[in-house]
Amino acid sequence: MADEFFRPYFSQGVFAQGNLTKTLQYRWMVGNNNSNLDVPASKLDRDLSAGVALTWLPTTGEFGPRGAFGDYERHEKLATRFNLAFTYSPEDRQSPVGTPAGNTTLRLADSLNIFDTGALADGVTVERARYRLVSASAGLKYKGFWLQGEGYGRWLDQLVADGPLPLGIVRNSGFYVQAADMLIPKRFEVYASASYVLGEFGHHPHEFIVGTNYYPWNTRNLRLNTQLINVSHSPVSSTFGFYNGQITGQVFSIGFTTLY
């Protein structure tokens, strides 16, 4: 939940990635928006967005295929990963005041879209905002056990609205932590996780998850997943996930996924 709340979305642009040393990787991108998914080019502003990340792999120089969750490969030597990232994007509502906001990527902790009329003040519509995100994560893998945590800090400022606002910046922080263990090597995994979102608005949204992964064939690319989510006041509404805005309760899911 926290990852879905804080993360940037989908952009087009130019990017580069590589190794500064054998154990230190870099990535950067300059794009045309925080998200241009299903947004006509005519509605995008001309401001550029950018992101940069550094990843340090001090012990083994790797963290499994694609840095994936879990230790399916069963590392006999402790594998560690540390990551620091920054994202910046000037945003606008992508539609005229008085019509539904085209930009739905920036939500407050109470799940309201910052560009919806009344989100920050009665009858007032935010037309522009600047999105900045800092994140840091650390993880380890060892003999089928995997542990990872990530923290976030997000700032929405440089607000432009059609009326007075009670604040000039919206600050949110949060984190998630997840652990997993292969009870049966390369076959059956159990995991648990928790995440929190803190800051203005909302009721300190949080969740706890328990789940399993079953790998019927000798590959991590095919799995049967089951999980139970106990969520309180979800700040996100996700087309790709399991949440509706402000949902409180339990969500059970079962799915079969293929990666090719």
Mean pLDDT in residue range 51-79: 97
Question: The domain spanning residue 245 has which CATH number?
Answer: 2.40.160
Q: Between these two residues, 34 and 51, which has the higher pLDDT value?
A: 51
Output the average pLDDT for the chain. 93
What is the structure's pLDDT at 101? 86
Provide the pLDDT for residue 260.
Answer: 77
Residue 225's pLDDT is: 97
Q: Name which of 184, 189, 187, 82 is nearest 146 in CA terms.
A: 189
At residue 194, what is the residue type?
A: A
State residue 42's pLDDT score: 75
Sheet holding 249-258, edge to edge: 13-19, 24-31, 49-56, 79-92, 126-142, 145-161, 170-184, 188-199, 206-214, 222-232, 249-258
Task: Tell me the per-residue pLDDT of 185-205, one tens digit each, with 9 for 90 and over.
Answer: 999 999 999 999 998 887 899
Domain of residue 85: give its range.
2-258
User: Could you read off the pLDDT of 231-255 as tens digits, one per residue?
Assistant: 999 999 877 678 889 999 999 999 9
pLDDT over 80 (residue 36): no
User: What pLDDT shows up at residue 208?
Assistant: 98
Record the tokens describing residue 85, joined without a space.
Answer: 């990232």
Give per-residue pLDDT as tens, 116-163. Answer: 999 999 999 999 999 999 999 999 999 999 999 999 999 999 999 999
Most confident of the following: 18-32, 99-113, 196-210: 18-32
Phi and psi dihedrals of 6, rounded to 5? -90, -30
What DSSP designation does 123 have?
T
Cα–Cα distance for residue pair 78/138, rounded to 1 Å: 13
Amino acid at 250: Q
pLDDT average, residue stretch 177-184:
98
Q: What is the dihedral of CA 115, 8, 52, 132, to 10 degrees?
A: 30
Domain count, the chain: 1
The arithmetic mean of pLDDT across residues 21-43, rounded, is 87
Look at residues 145, 255, 149, 174 and name the one whose alpha carbon lies nearest to residue 211: 255
Pick the more confident residue, 99 or 184.
Answer: 184
Structure tokens at 56: 């340090």
C-alpha distances in angstroms, 15 versus 11, 49, 50, 52, 53? Answer: 11, 12, 10, 10, 11
pLDDT value at position 47?
Answer: 87
| pLDDT tens digits, 71-109 | 999 999 999 999 999 999 999 988 888 888 888 889 999
On the question of pLDDT at 27 being above 80, the answer is yes
pLDDT at 103: 86
Q: Cα–Cα distances in Å, from 211 out to 178, 229, 253? A: 11, 9, 9
Read off the pLDDT of residues 213-223 as tens digits, 9 standing for 90 and up: 999 999 999 99
pLDDT of residue 238: 75
